[in-house]
Amino acid sequence: MKNIIKEPLVHFLVIGAVLYLFYTLNATDKPSSNAVQKQKIIITQSKIRQLKKNFTQEFAQTPSKTITQLLIEQEATKEILLNEAYKLQLYKEDKEIQKLLLQKMHFILNAATKQKEPTQKKLLTYYQKHLKDYSKRSAISFYDIHFAQLSKEQRKTFYKLAARLKDFQAFQQLKEQTQQEIQERFGSLFLTRMQRLPKEVLSHAIPSKDGLEFVYITDYRVTEPYPFEDVEDRVYQDYLQAQKKMLYDKMLSSIKKSYDIEIIK
């Protein structure tokens, strides 16, 4: 039953039924619709070519003129129903549609953060600026939050939520933990991952001997830095991630400037 409910065709049928009832119940003796300016639905030649291509890929044959006309009518109907659904704000009540729309918006923002390949000079500058991140660590201070078990989807959901936190008081705080103390408490794999984490960036879920940990490093004591050549791959990945986050936050902040957020008590 759940799978049926999630089908897009079912969504359109439900929307169609709602619209039918809505307009039937609100029908009046108003002048003919010819007197009212109609909203245009434009189907471009590019869209028609795409519809025919999709049909050919799915059914391994070129659509006839009749089939092509049906595809066009189907596309027009979809656009009409979507327009009417937005007018009725039906998407605001549908959690699945909300989820898909949010995923698409995050995808668009992430796609817009693509950057040019960094030069060796930029990587060296980044390495020198974050030298402590690429040094041997003797003790680490960090915040940790523990979960016994999480699904992949739950890990992603919590990370997206916690990555925007500016205050980690809900996490357990551990100060000046030596390598031996970390290993005894969380295990060898956790320690290895910890040695590679940059400062002041929330980690994704890290396996420990008792479950999963999300970690935010606040500081660490270091001895000597690793040579740039030994950590160049890490510097490259960290640089790209930092640039991507900066651009994403900048775009999101720009979008938010167009909105006023009001919290009603």
Cβ atoms 142, 177 nearer than 8 A: yes
Lowest mean pLDDT among 22-31, 189-198, 244-253: 22-31
CA atoms within 13 A on the CB side of 95: 1
Neighbour-count burial for 51-87, b at 16+ CB within 10 Å, e otherwise: bbeebeeeeeeebeeeeeeebeeebeeeeebeebbee
Q: What 3-state class would DSSP assign to 96?
A: helix
- Mean pLDDT throughout 203-213? 93
Report the first-to-last Cα separation within the chain, whole angstroms.
Answer: 39
Mean pLDDT of all residues in 233-240 = 91
Q: Determine phi and psi for 27, rounding to 5 degrees.
A: -70, 140
23 pLDDT more than 70 = no
pLDDT averaged over every residue in the chain: 81
Question: What pLDDT is recorded for position 37?
Answer: 73
Predicted TM-score (pTM) of this structure: 0.53
At residue 22, the pLDDT reads 53
Please report where in the chains the tokens 């016994």 appear, as a residue: 148
- Residue-wise pLDDT for 250-261, tens only, equals 888 887 787 676
Q: Is the pLDDT of residue 85 over 70?
A: yes
Distance, in Å, from the CA atom of 211 to the CA atom of 58, rounded to the nearest integer, reads: 44
Strongest mean pLDDT among 16-20, 101-105, 195-199, 231-235? 231-235
State both tokens at 256. Answer: 């938010």
Q: Which has more confidence, 36 or 142? A: 142
Pair 123, 235: CB distance under 8 Å: yes
CA distance 143 to 140: 10
For 139, phi then psi, to 5°, come to -155, 145
The DSSP call for residue 133 is G
Strand order in the sheet with 211-225: 172-178, 135-147, 211-225, 206-208
Q: Which residue has the higher pLDDT, 36 or 133?
A: 133
Q: pLDDT by residue (tens digit) across 108-134?
A: 888 877 778 999 999 999 999 998 889
Sign of the C-alpha dihedral computed for residues 141, 145, 149 and 154 taken in this order: negative
Tell me if residue 197 falls in helix, strand or coil.
Answer: coil
Share of the chain above pLDDT 70, in %: 84
Cα gap 86→74, rounded to integer Å: 18
